[in-house]
Chain A
Amino acid sequence: QEKHKILHKLLQNGN
C-alpha cells in the first residue's frame, strides 16, 4: 500500500 504513494516514488528515484 505504501509502495503506491508519491512519497515512495520521490524517495526512491531521488528527485
Chain B
Amino acid sequence: SQLLVSEPAPLRAAPEPATPDSDLKTLLTLCDLLNRELLVMIGWAKHIPGFTGLSLVDQMALLQSGWMETLVLNVVWRSQGSADELQFAENLRLSESQCRAAGLHDLYTALRHLSSKYQQMGLNQEEVLTLKAMALANSDAENVEGAEAVQRFQDGLHEALQDYESSQRPSEPHRAGRLLMTLPLLRQTALRAVRCFSRLHTDGRVPMHKLFLEMLDAKI
C-alpha cells in the first residue's frame, strides 16, 4: 500500500519541437526521458519502507547496482498493453523497426521478451511495484556496509509480496515464487540495456546527461 501511494506519476517524453524527426532525435528524446526517470527514481527510493533506514553509502550502492532493473520494469510495465511496441512513455512508443534504426534493436528484443513473459503471467500493478522495490533491495550490490540492514530491507519486501499473494491470489500458491523466478531474466535484461546505452555513448552517437553517465559508469 505504501508503494502504491509513493508511485510517481508517469513522465512524458519531451521531444524538441524544432528538431525534425530522425533516429538521433529518437535517441535524444529517449535519453532525456530516462535521465528524468532516474531523477524521479532516486526520490522514489526513499519512500520504499526501510530504504532510508540504510546508511547513505548503502542507499547509493543499491541504487547504483539496481537502477537499470527498476527502469526496465517501468518500460516493461507500460508496454504490457502492446504486442510489439515498447512504450517508454505515453507519447514515446517505439516499434521494432524504429528501435533497430536507432541502434536499440538488442534492447528491443530483450525488453519485449521480458514484457511478454509478464503479459503471460498477468502481472498487476501491486506486483510490479513490489518487484521494482525488490530490484533495488536484491541488487547484490558490492561493498555493502550494513548487510544485516539490507537483509531486513529485502525480507520486508519479500514478506509484503507473500502477504499480498496469499491474500489476493489464494488460488495461486506458487505466484510469489514465480514472480521471484523472473528476477534473473530482469537482471539479464537490465545488463543488456546497460551495454546498449554504454555502446551508444562510446560510439558518440548521442549526448547523455551527467547523472545517467555516472550511473552507467557504476554498472560497468
What is the interface of chain A, defined by CB distance below 8 A to chain B?
Answer: 2, 5-8, 10-12, 14-15
Chain B nearest CB from A4 CB (Å) reads 10
Contact A15 B42 (CB under 8 A): yes
C-alpha gap A8/B58 in the complex (Å): 11
Interface of B: prevailing SS: helix
C-alpha gap A10/B36 in the complex (Å): 13
Q: How many residues of B contact A (CB 8 A)?
A: 14
Q: For residue A10, which residues in chain B have a CB less than 8 angstroms away from its CB?
A: 39, 42-43, 211
Contact B46 A14 (CB under 8 A): yes
What is the interface of chain B, defined by CB distance below 8 A to chain A?
Answer: 39, 42-43, 46, 56-57, 59-60, 63-64, 210-211, 214-215
8 other A-B residue contacts (CB within 8 Å) besides A7-B63, A8-B60, A15-B42 = A2-B57, A7-B211, A7-B214, A8-B56, A10-B211, A11-B59, A11-B60, A14-B46
C-alpha gap A8/B39 in the complex (Å): 12
C-alpha gap A6/B56 in the complex (Å): 13
